[in-house]
Amino acid sequence: MIGAEDLLLQRAQDLLARAEKGEITYTPFLTPGEQARLNRHLTKAMEGAVLWGGYAQAERQRIFFLPPYLTELEPELRATCLAEFYAESVVALEIQGSGYRELSHRDFLGALLHLGVERDRLGDVCVTAPDHAIFFCDRILADFFLEHLERVANDAVRLRYITLPTDFDGGRRFVPVSDTVASPRADAVVAALANLPRERAQSLFTEGKVEIDYELEERTDRTVLAGAVIVIRGYGKFIIRSLSDKTRKGRYRLLADQYV
């Protein structure tokens, strides 16, 4: 039986083959982990590909595989040529609740999926206010939602197309985390982020509960660098902002943000 990663690679290779024959092709909305895996397996092909999820900081993105005549163009001209494809494959819809109930990311996503839509047909779902969200999909699916999505968690909602400001950041919010660690080893960092003893943090690796840069990590001695994204199942998702300065006692100052 073909595994999920093999299937992902096989489908990407099929799209790439079509692109090499002159067709612009694109994937479903991929998770950061899926993007990383394709980048690892298709390094050369990815150099000529374009990722887009509706805004600059999107996590779930589509990969556009371009025919040779487009990869040779200057970036600005290439973007102009792709604008029509972006307009059909990645559009933004706004969901506005009644204002009488606070709605969560889970509420919005659940309502969208409840209509029988697969998760990879949707990009990011960004909760920007207690009763308000913006999400991304293709135009055909957007029209479907406009016609059929009427309620989210029993709250009446309205949908409309929206043009995002250039500085849209997805409405992400963070809680700062700071600590000191004996070394930049992954187990030490995870222990600090999750507020756990070192031994318990090490067991999380063997239990498959730690991802670094969206890849499952088993090496407790891996060196963590600034910019790394760490997901600790059951404890949260973090981005490392700094892990280089030392205290007088020789410990490393850890500065991170936790997604909320």
- 213-232 residue pLDDT tens: 888 999 999 999 999 999 99
- Res. 253: pLDDT tops 60: yes
How far apart CA 234 and CA 204 sit, in angstroms, is 10
Q: Mean pLDDT in the chain?
A: 93
Considering only CA atoms, which of 188, 178, 225, 232 is closest in space to residue 210?
A: 232
Rounded to an integer, the average pLDDT of 176-192 is 96
Residue 141, judged by CB atoms within 10 A of its CB (0-12, 13-18, 19+), counts as middle
- Res. 63: pLDDT tops 80: yes
How does DSSP classify residue 164? P
- Res. 2: pLDDT tops 80: no
How far apart CA 187 and CA 222 sit, in angstroms, is 8
Written as six digits, the tokens of 171 are: 């409405």
54: left (phi over 0), alpha (psi -120 to 50) or beta: left
- Cα of first residue to Cα of last residue in the chain, in angstroms, is 37
Q: What is the pTM of this model?
A: 0.81
- pLDDT number for residue 138: 96
Rounded to an integer, the average pLDDT of 31-48 is 87
Considering only CA atoms, which of 28, 19, 21 is closest in space to residue 46?
A: 19
Written as six digits, the tokens of 228 are: 């790394």
- pLDDT number for residue 80: 86
Rounded to an integer, the average pLDDT of 156-170 is 94
Written as six digits, the tokens of 144 are: 């479907």
Rounded to an integer, the average pLDDT of 186-194 is 97
The residue behind tokens 């397996």 is 41
- 98-128 residue pLDDT tens: 999 999 999 999 999 999 999 999 999 999 9
- Res. 211: pLDDT tops 90: yes
- Res. 79: pLDDT tops 80: yes
- Res. 1: pLDDT tops 60: no
- pLDDT number for residue 84: 87
- pLDDT number for residue 123: 97
- pLDDT number for residue 46: 86
Q: Which residues pair with 6 in a beta bridge?
A: none
The residue behind tokens 């909602």 is 157
Considering only CA atoms, which of 189, 197, 196 is closest in space to residue 234?
A: 196
